[in-house]
């Protein structure tokens, strides 16, 4: 299973559908919270109801999907055990784009967890993966660069691996996984708090560790002792914390994305026992874990010190789901009424929602679809249309009802 929380609902539903495998994700809470200085209000009115239409099946524990944005129209699906599969014109290619299963330790929340393509992929052939591998009796996260074959655009070169960063993981859960290039050209990386439950090592609030953070690095340069450079305006570039940190106070930011129109960074952060949250991520901000879970005190349970913390734009409780899956702001053309809505879902409940900001600055959540799918991720194609990755082995396309 993938990034998850320690809730009975997660275990029971997952066991009922996929025995022997655990998918764990991020958690938040329910309600609308006014933002401060966020993107302009979207058009008034709720987004339209959606439904799923079958797109591709035959996958093994898929947990992510990306486009290379190279004009080919291909979609690249992650399989947790270590394969990347290509979907071309609605058909799943038989041969994996990349097979690194021999390097990857998978199962539970471990595995091949993230993929992103360099903004200049069409010319430099570079892409990046996030996976876990053994480290003695424990594990570590690996962020690595690969090259696609110069002779075959559907085949990566497995010997081209260049490891950029490794991070020791004290426990097997809460590994994060998402990576994405921002509009600034830097690579953003999500890491969970290191696992167990309740953040026993205090990583979320510790700016000396990379765990429980969203990082930002420059893969187009290198500095002494690093295979990458530090953007000079990173919050701790000059000291006071790990220089790679962009924002902190996360439990498990499993999936995040940039709005392709505004550059706003949205993230779903999986919660502990009670709440799931959606955040707008800003440089240097502290999102509260493990002082808070969503917009609620966690440690202590009441009367926590919220000074300097950034609250989620939306959160929901166990009556709505148990593992938030971050998605995308819709910028496609097939569903005009969905434009400007942030679409996300929940692995446990299979619900899909849209968030829109009203004229007063409050983010309002509308249920768009109630599915029976194990939503492990969302995908977005070159045209801005959205897809649901179903951990049970399929990809579905989101369409209007």
Burial of 84 (0-12, 13-18, 19+ CB in 10 A): buried
Domain residue extents for the chain: 8-400
What contacts 137, CB < 8 A, 6 or more positions away?
none
Query: Per residue in 326-369, pLDDT tens?
Result: 999 999 999 999 999 999 999 999 999 999 999 999 999 999 99
Q: CA-based Rg of the chain, rounded to a whole angstrom? A: 19
Supply 356's token pair: 């829109």
Question: Measured between alpha carbons, how far is 260 from 227 in angstroms, rounded to an integer?
Answer: 28
From residue 162, give the alpha-carbon distance in Å to each of 117, 146, 256.
14, 6, 24
Query: Per residue in 152-167, pLDDT tens?
Result: 999 999 999 999 999 9
pLDDT for 4: 61
> Following DSSP, what letter does each residue of 235-287 receive, concatenated?
TTTTSSS-TTEEEE--S---EEEE-TTT--EEEEE--SSSEEEEEE--TT-B-
**Homologous superfamily of 8-400 in CATH?**
TolB, C-terminal domain (2.120.10.30)
Query: Per residue in 195-214, pLDDT tens?
Result: 999 999 999 999 999 999 99
Q: Are 100 and 81 in contact (CB under 8 A)?
A: no
What global pTM score does this model have?
0.92
> How remote is the C-alpha of 349 from its chain's centroid?
18
Question: Measured between alpha carbons, how far is 130 from 212 in angstroms, rounded to an integer?
Answer: 16
Q: Would the pLDDT of 293 be above 60?
A: yes
Query: Per residue in 81-138, pLDDT tens?
Result: 999 999 999 999 999 999 999 999 999 999 999 999 999 999 999 999 999 999 998 9
């Amino acid at each position: 299973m993938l990034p998850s929380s320690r809730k009975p609902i997660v275990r029971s539903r997952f066991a009922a559908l996929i025995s022997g495998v655990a998918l764990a994700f991020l958690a938040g809470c329910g309600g609308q919270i006014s933002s401060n200085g966020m993107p302009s209000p979207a058009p008034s009115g709720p987004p339209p109801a959606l439904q799923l239409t079958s797109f591709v099946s035959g996958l093994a524990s898929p947990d992510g999907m990306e486009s290379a944005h190279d004009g080919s129209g291909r979609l690249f699906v992650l399989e947790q055990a270590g394969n990347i599969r290509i979907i071309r014109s609605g058909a799943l290619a038989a041969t994996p784009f990349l097979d690194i299963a021999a390097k990857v330790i998978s199962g539970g929340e471990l595995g091949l967890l993230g993929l992103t393509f360099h903004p200049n992929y069409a010319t430099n052939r570079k892409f990046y993966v996030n996976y876990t591998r053994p480290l003695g009796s424990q594990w570590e996260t690996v962020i690595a660069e690969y090259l696609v074959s110069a002779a075959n655009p559907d085949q990566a070169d497995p010997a081209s691996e260049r490891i950029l960063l490794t991070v020791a993981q004290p426990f097997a859960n809460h590994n994060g996984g998402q990576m994405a290039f921002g509009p600034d050209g830097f690579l953003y990386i999500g890491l969970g708090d290191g696992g167990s439950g309740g953040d026993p090592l205090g990583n979320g609030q510790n700016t000396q560790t990379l765990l429980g953070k969203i990082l930002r690095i420059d893969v187009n340069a290198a500095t002494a002792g690093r295979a990458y450079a530090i953007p000079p305006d990173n919050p701790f570039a000059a000291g006071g914390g790990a220089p790679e940190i962009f924002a902190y106070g996360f439990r498990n930011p499993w999936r995040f994305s940039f709005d392709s129109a505004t550059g706003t960074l949205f993230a779903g952060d999986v919660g502990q026992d009670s709440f799931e949250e959606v955040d707008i991520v800003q440089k240097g901000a502290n999102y509260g874990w493990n002082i808070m879970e969503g917009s609620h005190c966690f440690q202590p349970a009441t009367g926590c010190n919220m000074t300097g913390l950034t609250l989620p734009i939306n959160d929901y409780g166990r009556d709505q789901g148990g593992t938030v899956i971050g998605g995308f702001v819709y910028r496609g053309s097939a569903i005009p009424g969905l434009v400007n809505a942030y679409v996300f879902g929940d692995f446990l409940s299979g619900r899909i929602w849209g968030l829109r900001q009203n004229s007063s600055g409050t983010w309002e959540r509308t249920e768009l679809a109630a599915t029976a799918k194990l939503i492990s991720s969302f995908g977005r194609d070159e045209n801005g249309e959205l897809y649901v990755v179903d951990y049970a082995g399929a990809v579905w396309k989101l369409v209007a009802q």
